Amino acid sequence: MPKKMDRSLHLIVITLLLAFTVMAFQSELTTVQPKTMPLVPMMRVLLSDMYTIDEGIYTEDFAVIEKGGKSIAEHPVMTEEDKKLVKNTLGEEMQRFISFDMVVHRHADSIAQAAQQKKMNDILHHYKIVQQGCVDCHTAFRKEISKARK
C-alpha cells in the first residue's frame, strides 16, 4: 500500500474514533435535569443522589461520588406552585429554609470537587455537612410543609 494512502487511512480511522468518542460522551453531557420539579419527587431524587454518593464512598469510586455530588449541587428548583406553598407555609422562616438549601448546594459542589481530586477525607467532611443540612431542614420544616400539602 502506498505511503500516502496508508497515512490517509490512518487519518480516517483516527477521525472516526474521535467522532465516536465525542458522540458517546455527548449523551452524558446532554443529560440535564429538568429546571423545575415538584418538591416531593425532587426530595426522592436527592435521596437517590445521597445513595449514589454512599455507593461511591464504600466502593471508593470517585466518578460515582462526583456524579452524586454534582446532581445534588445542580438539582432543579421547586415548581412555582410548590414555591408558593412553601413560602406561604413558612413565612419569615423561608430565609432559614433557603440557607439550608445553600449549605447543601455549596457542600455538594465541594464533594464533587474533592472527588475529582480523589480526596476521600474532604469528601467525607463535606458529605457530613450535606447530610446534616438535609436532616436539619427536614426536622425544622417537614411536618409543617407536609401538613400544608394536605
CA distance 96 to 98: 5
CATH number of 35-149: 1.20.120.10
pLDDT in tens, 40-85: 999 999 999 999 999 999 999 999 999 999 999 999 999 999 999 9
Decide: 64 and 120 in contact? Cβ < 8 Å. Answer: no
DSSP 64-85: HHHHHHHHHHTPPEEPHHHHHH
pLDDT in tens, 89-138: 999 999 999 999 999 999 999 999 999 999 999 999 999 999 999 999 99
pLDDT in tens, 19-51: 555 455 544 444 555 688 999 999 999 999 999
Exposure letters 102-111 (e unless 16+ CB within 10 A, then b): ebbbebbbbb
**Residue 119 three-state SS:** coil
**Residue 139 three-state SS:** helix
Domain ranges of the chain: 1-31, 35-149
Grid cell locating 58 = 464504600
